[in-house]
């Protein structure tokens, strides 16, 4: 009987670990959390934030866009692709 209980507990633990691993592998950051934008001639971070209606304080959004896209400064180049938070 003790051996049966030991095997049962071991099986339950393995099942819990399996479910946890499957859940961890299938969850993550949804791709739709960001929008990709192509920079047009004359675009600035400020104009992109205003045009795309990004929610929140524009200054914070500009900082977030710079962080997301690893921008050292606010200089943009036509054709450059940027990720914007939705």
Which DSSP state fits 79? T
The CA–CA distances, whole Å, from 85 to 34, 38, 45, 49, 68 equal 5, 14, 13, 10, 9
Which CATH class for the 31-85 domain?
alpha beta
Give pLDDT tens digits along the chain (86 positions): 888 888 888 888 878 888 887 777 666 555 568 999 999 999 999 999 999 876 778 899 999 999 999 999 989 999 999 999 87
């Amino acid at each position: 009987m003790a051996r049966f209980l030991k095997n049962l507990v071991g099986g339950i633990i393995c099942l819990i670990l399996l479910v946890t691993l499957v859940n961890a592998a299938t969850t993550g950051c949804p791709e739709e959390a960001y929008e990709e934008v192509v920079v047009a001639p004359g675009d600035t971070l400020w104009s992109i934030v205003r045009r795309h209606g990004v929610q929140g304080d524009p200054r914070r959004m500009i900082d977030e866009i710079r962080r997301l896209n690893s921008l050292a400064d606010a200089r943009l180049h036509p054709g450059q692709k940027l990720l914007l938070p939705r």
